[in-house]
């Protein structure tokens, strides 16, 4: 009996115990089997799991479709868990010979992080707040000091204590306005359902209050007596209610302040810069509507501007009787307006920053006597300080490509503003800029404890001509003494291209492990993001979605044709909607890649967009398409990765998922992998890595996440035949 078959039998549903400890025990039998496993590897290759085909007809909006792997959607079906465990066992057997390399790379990655790192403190009220890590600790510790930074440290909450007994933790805090209490918002499963607990900082005791199944954080009312928070639907995860919880009361008595019944809209609450108002933002991917209420006693919400197609706007309040509005109404690249609170509809909006064809208004932050506009031109960011007299001062940056953004500036009365700067070769740096003196100073730059010499690395910004003539930005980086532009180097290309999310060129010390081994790293800025303005997004969604795929393929071809990367030495990576990108390019241009890594990939487009009970479906119809519309259905069907798997050769592939993923359900990549195994004609690796205790973002601890990165890098090096 083959070892993996025996292992699958061991993991039968009758013996399964749903804990990470049991999972680790079973996998240890494979990873630590020593000479027995080694002997097996020499005599017989591991056998890939073959998923059973069970006939099933989906009664779709455009007619029936057959899906023999539909049964994998049954989360409680023991057969599903048995299959996922068998996939993990197969992955372990294939990668067992690479364990030494995995460990080597993991140590490299750990060596580049400050294990006792602290954030830059910021002042709020009488306190300086910051977070820090302890050596060996997986999670952040939130702290503060009263008066000045020489005062005694007060620990607000220790993430390592919160994580005790759990395999996963995502958490953050919200301080009350009087600094006496902290709301701790945490998820211990990875499903994006958060529990809010409250800690009394004067006593160090936890209050009895416990609000379960929330999402998108919480807001303290200005009297410090209540919390305002969002409630998601248990099935779709759409936040449909905004509730108020009175401190000391039971959660079952919480009052609904606002309910959104439109199934295509997702609610989000946030507070104004002035702390005087709470805004409720109901949105889908193309449009939104904002309502407001007073933050001291939130009650009835009042509409600012009714929803209309293709109109997306945000609102803030700084002081006085006016709101400020960032809007794409009659402004594809957005403009900034002001309006009286008493008459906030768009016919009363007057420009502060008018619309411009060549400048994209990313965001604006207001201070007492000035404001800062974060803008981009040709995909490169500038920060513009605008004084009341109209004077403009620009904070500019010198590298050919970089990431720059406003930092955390909670105090609107300061003249010192913080911003963050980075590039593919410049570590994260926090700066402070004085708007009066124009002086700029660095407060902190991330340290690479194992050593890093920026001068040994190069970054370039390239404009790739896509097949339709559009110029697509791509940023690359490599190490001088390991890279040769002669068509011999391996390459790693990353992409996303969806939701108007800009794929920024920030520093990732992990990538050094690849560049030090001769890799070229390429970061693409394909259509579907907003790197090149509002139109860049429109040209990469809905009936233009294939532009995202074509842009990525054309960037990949450029790397090979120009000698940056050798033929059959290029690896591609993307996650979530970027995983859809990976699925599409693996069908459209598999010959370009030696390997593809698809993280938590959205690959079963039609089935997901037709199922309104699946999380994040209805309010994404205007991102991908509504299958009830025949033209949109046909277009999605033409690129949906799952529906376009063919009997042909595919690259080596590593696919990942989290069993608790609420954004891209585990069964999408599970079905895709099963179909690929049954259909493809090559003998290349197809590995499926299932994290049974995490969600969309993978493992939560910083060391656990580094283990995942080390595994991915080892997969690529293994495909290249590199052993160290």
Q: Are residues 267 and 234 in the same domain?
A: no
Domain end marker among 200, 228, 259: 259
Q: 267 and 338, same structural domain?
A: yes
133 and 174 housed in the same domain = no
Cα dihedral 316→317→322→326 (10° resolution): -20
Q: Of 294, 329, 357, which residue sits at a domain end?
A: 357
Query: Both tokens of residue 156?
Result: 């607000």
pLDDT on residue 187: 92
Closest CA to 476 of 488, 464, 487, 467: 464
Residue 37, token pair as written in the block: 């496993």
Q: Residues 270, 338: one domain?
A: yes
Q: Say if residue 160 is in the same domain as residue 170.
A: no
> Residue 7: what pLDDT?
27
Query: Do 123 and 135 have their domain in common?
Result: yes
Chain centroid, CA 462 distance in Å:
25
Spatial contact of 620 and 612, defined as CB atoms under 8 Å apart: no
Q: Are residues 184 and 130 in the same domain?
A: no
Q: Which domain holds residue 174?
A: 166-259
Number of structural domains found in the chain: 3
pLDDT above 80: residue 29: no
Residues 294 and 336 in one domain: yes
The verdict on residue 577 lying in a domain is no
d(CA 404, CA 502): 12
- What local confidence, expressed as pLDDT, does residue 701 receive? 62
In terms of domains, do 172 and 157 share one? no
267 & 346 share domain? yes
Q: How far apart are CA 340 and CA 277, in angstroms?
A: 14
**Which positions ≥6 away from 111 have C-beta within 8 Å?**
449, 450
Closest CA to 670 of 167, 85, 192, 189: 85
Q: Could you tell me if residue 424 is inside a domain?
A: no
- 218 falls in which pLDDT band (50, 70, 90)? very high
**Is the confidence at residue 292, as pLDDT, over 70?**
yes
Quick: pLDDT tens for 249-288: 999 999 999 999 998 899 999 999 999 999 999 998 889 9
Long-range contacts of 676-682 (CB under 8 A, 24+ apart): 676/645, 676/650, 677/48, 677/49, 677/50, 677/51, 678/50, 678/51, 678/53, 679/645, 679/646, 679/647, 680/645, 680/647, 680/648, 680/649, 680/650, 681/647, 681/648, 681/649, 682/649, 682/650
481-522 per-position pLDDT tens digit: 999 899 999 999 999 999 999 999 999 999 999 999 999 999
- Where is mean pLDDT largest: 181-195, 354-368, 654-668? 354-368
Instruction: Tell me if 235 is assigned to some domain.
Output: yes
Question: Would 335 be classed as within a structural domain?
Answer: yes
For residue 14, name the pLDDT band (cuts at 50, 70, 90).
very low
The three-state (H, E, C) secondary structure of 478-543, written as one string: EECCCCCCCCCCCEEEECCCCCCCCCCCCCCHHHHHHHCCCCEEEEECCECECCCCHHHHHCCCHH
Q: What average pLDDT does this structure show over 179-200? A: 93
Residue 638 lies in a domain: no
> Token match 């465990």: residue?
85
Contact 154, 145 (CB under 8 A): yes
Q: What is the overall mean pLDDT for the chain?
A: 90
Lowest mean per-residue pLDDT among 6-15, 169-178, 406-415, 674-683:
6-15
How far apart (Å, rounded) are the C-alpha atoms in residues 219 and 272? 11
Residue 18: pLDDT band by 50, 70, 90 thresholds? very low
The answer for 278, left when phi > 0, alpha when psi is -120 to 50, beta otherwise, is beta
* pLDDT tops 50 at residue 155: yes
Q: Which residues are catalytic?
A: 576, 661, 696
* Cα(573)–Cα(514) distance, integer angstroms: 14
Residue with tokens 């909670």: 410
Q: At what angle do helices 3-10 and 35-43 cross, to 10 degrees?
A: 130
353: CATH: 2.40.128
Rounded Cα gap, residues 721 and 250, in angstroms: 60
**272 and 345 co-located in one domain:** yes
pLDDT at 682 over 90: yes
Task: Report residue 400 as tokens.
Answer: 């050919």
Q: Does residue 544 lie in a domain region? A: no
DSSP state of 119: P
The predicted-structure confidence for 526-572, as pLDDT tens digits, reads as follows 999 999 999 999 999 999 999 999 999 999 999 999 999 999 999 99
Is 171 within the bounds of a domain? yes
Q: What DSSP character marks residue 643?
A: G
pLDDT tens for each residue of 465-475: 999 999 999 99
CA distance 679 to 64: 21
Residue 282 lies in a domain: yes
Which of these three, 232, 259, 286, is where a domain ends? 259
pLDDT, tens only, 349-378: 999 999 999 999 999 999 988 999 999 999
Contacts for 650 with CB less than 8 Å, ≥ 6 apart: 586, 590, 596, 676, 680, 682, 684, 686
Could you tell me if 158 and 179 lie in one domain? no
Within 562-694, residue ranges assigned H as helices are: 577-588, 605-610, 621-624, 630-639, 667-679
């Amino acid at each position: 009996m083959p070892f993996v078959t025996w292992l699958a039998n061991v993991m039968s549903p009758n013996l399964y115990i749903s804990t990470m400890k049991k999972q680790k025990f079973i996998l240890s039998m494979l990873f630590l089997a020593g000479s027995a496993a080694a002997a097996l590897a020499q005599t017989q290759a591991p056998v890939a799991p073959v998923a059973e085909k069970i006939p099933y007809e989906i009664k779709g909006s455009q007619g029936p479709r057959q899906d023999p792997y539909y049964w994998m959607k049954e989360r409680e079906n023991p057969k599903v868990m048995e299959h996922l465990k068998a996939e993990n066992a197969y992955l372990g057997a294939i990668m067992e010979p690479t364990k030494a390399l995995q460990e080597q790379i993991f140590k490299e990655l750990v060596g580049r992080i400050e294990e006792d790192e602290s954030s830059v403190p910021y002042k709020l009220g009488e306190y300086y707040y910051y977070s820090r890590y302890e050596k060996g600790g997986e999670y952040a510790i939130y702290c503060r000091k009263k008066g000045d930074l020489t005062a005694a440290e007060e620990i607000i909450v220790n993430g390592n204590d919160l994580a005790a007994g759990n395999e996963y933790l995502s958490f953050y805090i919200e301080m009350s306005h009087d600094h006496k209490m902290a709301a701790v918002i945490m998820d211990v499963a990875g499903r994006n359902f958060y529990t809010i607990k409250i800690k009394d900082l004067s006593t160090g005791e936890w209050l009895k209050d416990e609000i379960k199944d929330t999402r998108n954080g919480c807001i303290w009312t200005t009297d410090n007596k209540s919390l305002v928070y969002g409630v998601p639907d248990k099935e779709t995860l759409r936040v449909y209610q905004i509730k108020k919880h009175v401190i000391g009361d039971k959660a079952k008595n919480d009052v609904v302040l606002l309910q959104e019944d439109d199934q295509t809209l997702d609610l989000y609450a946030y507070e104004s810069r002035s702390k005087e108002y709470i805004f409720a933002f109901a949105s889908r991917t193309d449009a939104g509507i904002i309502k407001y209420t007073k933050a001291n006693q939130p009650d009835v919400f009042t509409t600012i501007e009714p929803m209309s197609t293709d109109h997306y706007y945000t609102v803030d309040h700084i002081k006085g009787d006016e709101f400020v509005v960032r809007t794409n109404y009659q402004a594809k690249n957005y403009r900034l307006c002001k309006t009286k609170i008493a008459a906030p509809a768009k016919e009363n909006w007057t420009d502060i920053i008018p619309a411009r064809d060549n400048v994209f208004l990313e965001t604006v932050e207001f201070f007492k006597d000035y404001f800062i506009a974060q803008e981009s031109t040709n995909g490169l960011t500038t920060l513009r300080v605008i004084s009341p007299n109209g004077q403009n001062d620009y904070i500019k940056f010198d590298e050919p490509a970089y990431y720059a953004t406003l930092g955390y500036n909670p105090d609107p009365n300061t003249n010192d503003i913080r911003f963050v700067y980075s590039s593919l070769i410049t570590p994260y740096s926090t700066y402070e800029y004085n708007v009066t003196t124009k002086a700029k100073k660095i407060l902190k730059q991330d340290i690479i404890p194992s050593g890093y010499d920026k001068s040994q690395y190069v970054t370039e910004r390239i404009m790739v001509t896509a097949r339709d003539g559009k110029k697509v930005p791509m940023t690359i980086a490599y190490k001088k003494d390991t890279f040769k532009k002669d068509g011999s180097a391996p390459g790693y290309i990353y992409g996303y291209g969806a939701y108007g999310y800009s794929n920024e060129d920030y520093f990732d010390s992990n990538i050094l492990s690849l560049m030090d081994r001769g890799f070229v790293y390429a970061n693409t800025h394909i259509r579907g993001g907003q790197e090149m303005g509002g139109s860049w997004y429109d040209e990469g969604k809905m009936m233009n979605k294939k532009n995202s795929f074509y842009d990525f393929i054309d960037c990949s071809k450029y790397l090979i044709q120009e000698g940056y990367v050798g033929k059959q030495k290029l690896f591609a990576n993307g996650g979530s909607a970027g995983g859809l990108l990976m699925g599409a390019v693996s069908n459209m241009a598999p010959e370009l890649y030696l390997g593809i890594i698809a993280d938590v990939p959205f690959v079963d487009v039609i089935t997901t967009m037709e199922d309104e009970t699946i999380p994040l479906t209805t309010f994404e119809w205007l991102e991908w398409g509504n299958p009830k519309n025949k033209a949109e259905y046909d277009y999605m069907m033409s690129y949906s990765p799952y529906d376009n798997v063919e009997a042909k050769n595919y690259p080596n592939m590593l696919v990942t998922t989290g069993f608790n993923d609420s954004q891209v359900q585990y069964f999408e990549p599970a079905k895709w992998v099963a179909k690929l195994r049954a259909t493809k004609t090559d003998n290349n690796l197809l590995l499926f890595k299932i994290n049974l205790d995490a969600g969309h973002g993978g493992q939560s601890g910083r060391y656990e996440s580094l283990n995942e990165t080390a595994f991915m890098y080892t997969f690529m090096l293994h495909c290249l035949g590199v052993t160290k």
